[in-house]
Homo-oligomer: A and B are copies of this chain.
Amino acid sequence: MPYYIGDVIKDEKRLIARTPEKFRETGIEVRLNTLAEGADTDKGAVRLSDGTSVPYDILVLGTGSSAFVPKIPGIELEGVFTLKKLNDAIRMKAFIRDKQCRKAIIVGAGFIGMEMSEALRTHGIETQVIDLVPRPAARWDPEFSNMIMEELNRQNVTFSGDTGMVAIEQGKDYRLRLSTSKGEMEADMILIAIGIRPNVKLASDFGLQIGKTGAIQVNFSQRTSKEGIFAVGDCCEVYHRVSHRWVHIPLGDVANKQGRVAGRNIGGGSMIFPGVVGAQSFKIFSLEAAATGLDESEAISSGYHPVSTIIWGNAIARSMPGEKRLGIKLVADRATGKLLGAQAVGTIGAVSRINTLSCALWTGMGLDEIAYLDLAYSPPVGPAWDPIHIAAQELMRKL
């Protein structure tokens, strides 16, 4: 009988509809609020927090990841949050509702920090974002992260770069006071969003190989180093089709796909997970930001010879009213002329271009082909020479 073990948010609507009893009808045993504490390797079983042990023929680890929480004084104070699980969001919402939250500080200007700054501002909460690096969304080129910073300013989100947190204590004018490398600031709520770490304790207990990234090693079938044990999602590594390395890119769409591949193989089918190209995106107020493939430093560390260019174009044709400024950066390999990575920022059309370029990366396309790729031209949705074409032609001149 298949088992599902783990803590499940009890008040989440879709899960309420499928209680453990409902699952049992379909032949799946569900144990909620149960921790898989460790390995009973001799018996081929998992030790559970309720004292029992569950034997397995096939074991799938989907242990996920946890928000990284730095060990600084005051980190345990009420009003300090991380955002990883649905429960975190529910707790945060309740806090905002019940405690009259006037101001929030977000530590970390990555995806979570950016998306939450919009969510908090939309709730009318004064919002400040701090980060160790000088600009938000540091994965993006400075030219693009400056555009993101301007958007934050326009929306009255304060950004403080080159700022590290030191300690949290009770505040005076607001509930909490955050000491940083740049001085003190107060807020009613502090969200720590400085990255996540894969949960590999159980995997280690089972003696599974852990990769250099700190996540569980898997192969194309999502099998770990031990017969009968699979791993999927944020806890495991994934093959990167451009760097040809196993990396840790914990994203929801990747996890979904890996889960299906593991399931197909467990069910007797044959399927591989073909890897990723590193496509990612977020929206910050009226701005789309998207990226795919490698940036220059990743390209160099993979042994490529990156050349890059940034062009500013229009997401729609010049003949149409209303400019839609769109920036595209391409990175290519000087030795082969192949695309290595791309970034885009704009009010519309950034994700669209990055998805097309992700497909180009997937198949290892060269700039010469990208420069003349057949795209669906029509003035309201893009110029005859799309920013993709212009960027590729521009970069070809640098090869």
- Please list the residues of chain A having a beta carbon within 8 angstroms of any beta carbon in chain B: 111, 241, 251-254, 256-257, 261, 273-283, 288, 290-292, 349, 351-352, 354-356, 358-360, 362-363, 365, 369, 372-378, 380-382, 384-386
Contacts and interface: CB of A to CB of B under 8 A. Distances in A.
Contacts of A279: 374-377
* Max count, chain B CB within 10 A of own CB: residue among A280, A281, A377: A377
- The DSSP consensus for interface residues of chain A is mixed
Given A292-B376, A375-B279, A385 B351 contact: no
Given A274-B369, A356-B359, A362-B369, A253 B377 contact: yes
Contacts of A365: 359, 362-363
Contact of A351 (B288, B369, B373, B381): B381
Copies of the chain in the assembly: 2
Contacts of A376: 279-281, 290-292, 351, 354-355, 358
B351 A274 contact: no
Given A356-B358, A359-B373, 17 more contacts: A252-B384, A275-B374, A277-B374, A278-B374, A279-B375, A280-B377, A280-B378, A282-B378, A288-B381, A349-B352, A351-B378, A352-B352, A352-B356, A354-B376, A362-B365, A362-B373, A363-B365
A374 B352 contact: no
Contacts of A352: 349, 351-352, 355-356
A375 B358 contact: yes
